[in-house]
Amino acid sequence: MKARNIIGAFGAAAAAELGVAAYFYRRTMKRGPAKVGRTIKMAGTDWNQYADFIGRRKELFLARPHKDVWVTARDGIRLHGTFFPNKGSKRIVLCFHGYTSEGMKDYIALSEYYFKRGFSMLSVDARAHGKSEGKYIGFGCLDRLDALAWLDWISESYGEDAKIIMHGTSMGAATVLMASGLRLPEQVKGIVADCGFTSPKEVFTHVLHSMYHMPAFPIIQIADAMNKKLAGYGMDECNAAREVKNSRTPTLFIHGDADTFVPYAMCEELYQNCAAKKWKLTVRGAAHAESYYKDTQAYEKALDTLLEDVL
């Protein structure tokens, strides 16, 4: 009887752990249940204080000529982007947004910086975001391969003399850093990674510990098995801290030291591991994805340094 009770207790505990893992997996990895409002709350950045500034930039942003563009990922998913030509310029910034955001949101403020320096802009929706297809979020692991499809579109449209900067924020930064370990076209001259994480596994572990006060084991292990089956990749299958060791693309790392969502220590690890020419900007007091707004002058100066070096 006692043995049966013990087995039953273990069974109940295992079922509870499976249920918790499935709950967090669905809320985190699946399109729809992964809500932008929850992400903003967890990130803790007060965007209300920048509403007027963003509003002014948005008016200028949307007033520029732009068009929808589409590519097909290697697994057949159609991906959407918005292209802003700039007087036929072959300087192009390819922008990757953060988790639960969209291509037309994260680069509203930064757009004027790039337009004034003669760049056209291609701002894309990650798979399972915006107008792009997809059921499961790629967290950079799948998106780095999607980035190759966008680079092919630029190369086909603008030729060998195109000069491309890849700029990513949060999940978008993880995307460009993970992509840096691949063989990128010669047209890619530089990478900007703003508050990027190392891997889905490590950032999820941090969130479970810091925000939910829960142990990562066995939730991460269960979610990893689920993700391999449903989304087709493991949560540490592609780790930006490993990929940058193979990078040959000059890279600017930017991170706020008050970021509680993606800890600043991840930026330090990424920067130290990066084998390419590199720069780092630490913005004091900036929360997640807040660096440009917290210290616009320092951010733009750091971008100037990268662009002057690579273009």
User: Average pLDDT of 84-112?
Assistant: 96
Which pLDDT belongs to residue 21?
Answer: 77
> What whole-number distance in Å separates Cα of residue 261 and Cα of residue 287?
8
Residue 138: CA count within 13 A, CB half-sphere: 30
**12: pLDDT strictly greater than 60:** no
DSSP state of 167: E
User: Average pLDDT of 255-275?
Assistant: 97
Query: In a 3-state reduction of DSSP, which class is residue 285?
Result: coil
β partners of residue 254 = 194, 281
**pLDDT band at residue 23 using 50, 70 and 90 as cut-offs:** confident
Which pLDDT belongs to residue 33?
Answer: 87
User: Average pLDDT of 279-307?
Assistant: 98
Q: Closest Cα to residue 65, out of 132, 120, 125?
A: 120
**140: pLDDT strictly greater than 80:** yes
Which pLDDT belongs to residue 14?
Answer: 45
Preceding amide of 218 cis, omega within 30: yes
The DSSP code sequence of 19-72 is HHHHHHHHHHHBTTTS-HHHHHHHH---GGGGHHHHHHHHHHHHHS--EEEEEE
Mean pLDDT over the full length of the chain: 93
User: Average pLDDT of 284-311?
Assistant: 98
Which of 8-12, 168-172, 181-185, 287-291 is the least confident region?
Answer: 8-12
**247: pLDDT strictly greater than 50:** yes
The reported pTM is 0.94
Domains of the chain: 31-199+238-310 (3.40.50.1820)
> What whole-number distance in Å separates Cα of residue 193 and Cα of residue 238?
16
Which pLDDT belongs to residue 4?
Answer: 53
The four Cα atoms 246, 267, 171, 34 give a dihedral, to 10 degrees, of: 140
